[in-house]
Structure 1
Amino acid sequence: MNESFDISAASYDEIFTNSHIGKLQRKRVHDFLTSVFPKNESLEILEINCGTGHDAIWLSDLGHRIIATDISSKMIAVANSKLSTSNNQPDFRQLDINKLEETNFNNSFDLIFSDFGGLNCLSPSELENFFKVAATKLKPNGKIIGVIMPKHCLMENLYFIIKGSFKKAFRRNTKNAIDVNLENTSVKTWYYNPKDIRKKSNSYFYINKTKPIGFLIPPSYLESFFKNKLGLLKFLNHLDSFFQHNSTISSYSDHYVITLSKK
């Protein structure tokens, strides 16, 4: 899997982080994090599958102390290239999420965070083991916040139905991994609804809340379709804001954010 993300590292920011769709979806995530973080408190955060480090740098700019990890050495290299000379900077480290149990940190964490499908790279058995190990890395009352892709996505369904690609329209709705294209390579991806996360994490965590991320904001791979239709994208983003607090549609959005508290 690390080879796949190594291949996409150089272009990841261009195709997602700095894309119009990527910015809209990430703002939804950042607004959620801002709303749930305690005021005037610096958190110890472990980020899983941090990619090119955009979220980690944003979190450190807010005053949080963060160790940000990714399986891809090239993703970590891009992330390190963004560091400034300010005092509070993320500590970027290469780490396979499945080796988390073998990794010793100097401290436990208030929060483990994974954005935009990082946990979708785990098979069902790997995901269950992740929750088991994550609980040991968290402080009492520690939390996990994950941004996960569910088994259904309204905008993806509509797009492929209009194109007549009915098989692709419902490709997420499977228990098996599918190969997802990622800039000249592919990544095995599993899709999980909130109820699947509850089942896998139930021995170690309570689920606090879920919120849709991108119910009407389309998936990022549709950036080329929308780049000349920015008025339509702006309109969809405006409509999307009316649904952002409706947890019941989390299973029908491009992603959803879920908060789990350690038992």
Structure 2
Amino acid sequence: MKADFDQAAKNYDTHFTYSEIGKLQRKMVYANLQNKLKNLNKLLEINCGTGEDAIWLAKQGFEVTATDISEEMIAVAQTKSSGENPNFKVLDINKILEESEKFDTIFSNFGGLNCLTKSELELFLNSAKEVLSDNGKICLVIMPKNTLWEPLYFLLKLDFQNAFRRKKEVVYANVEGEKVATYYYNPKDIVHLCQINFEIVDAKPIGFFIPPSYLEPFFKNKKSVLYSLYVLENKIKNWSFLSKFADHYIITLQKK
């Protein structure tokens, strides 16, 4: 996995972070986080990629430790930041217990956890409890199984083989020419895996109307259409039942 995302680091910001779709989806995530992270201080980000979220969180006043398994992703992130906050470091998600300090919040954005098998995800959620302070929270942005955008996109292309690929146990996504094993989880799957240690606060859709990033070429010159979809997204942003039908969803869990 490390090599896969090392390969993607160079072009990740161009292809997603600074894309019109990427900026709108990230804007929805940030609006949700601002309501969830009040009165919290220390935050651990996993799968931080090129550091865009970590830098934003640091600017909001959080003390951020941002980690990624990819040395190249961390290298790009460090070029964006000056000073000690965020503290960027290379760390395998499966080794978060190596973190000796406690955090108020653990955050992962845009499907980083979709690279974990069910057993690995369960291990992560169990480990997360140990590095969280009392009443700590986890905020995770995950790709669900039932998104409506993907079947529509592939059916219009008459690509029936991929139209319902998220229903499969594993999908091999193309990341800069590398095949990366990807697993999809609906909100209830996450709740089931962590119900002993966590209780769900809520789950909200991210990208029910805003399209997936791979449609950026189509929408790049249709900003008025994209903005209209963003307006619609804001109208349904609190409709939890749409979470499993969006491109992503953000689920917030609180330590028991």
1:186 aligns with: 179
TM-score normalised to structure 2 length: 0.97
Q: Is the 8 A contact 2:40 2:104 kept in 1?
A: no
Map 1:63-142 → 2, pairs under 5 A: 63-85=61-83, 89-101=85-97, 103-105=98-100, 107-142=101-136
Consecutive unaligned residues of structure 1, counting only runs of 5 or more, are none
Q: Counterparts of 1:13 and 1:80 in 2: how far apart (Å)?
A: 14
Q: Give the superposition deviation at 1:180.
A: 0.8
- The SS at the match of 1:89 is coil
Letter in 1 for 2:29: V
Which of 202, 212, 218 matches 1:225?
A: 218
Q: Which moved more, 1:144-153 or 1:165-174?
A: 165-174
Once the two structures are superposed, what CA deviation does each residue of 1:132-161 show, in whole Å capped at 9, x if it has no partner? 110000011001000000002112221111
Q: Deviations over 1:175-196 (max 9, x none)?
A: x121111222221110000010
Matched residue count: 256
Aligned mates of 2:161, 2:234 — CA distance in 1: 30
Give the percent of matched residue pairs that are identical in Structure 1 and Structure 2: 52
Maintained 8 Å contact 2:209/2:233? yes
Instruction: Tell me if structure 1 keeps the 8 A contact 2:94–2:124.
Output: yes
Of residues 139, 147, 165 in structure 2, which corresponds to 1:145?
139
- Would you say the 8 A contact 1:194–1:251 is kept in 2? yes
- Measured in 2, the distance between the counterparts of 1:202 and 1:252 equals 22
Mapping 1:1-263, distance limit 5 Å: 1-38=1-38, 41=39, 43-85=41-83, 89-101=85-97, 103-105=98-100, 107-174=101-168, 176-263=169-256
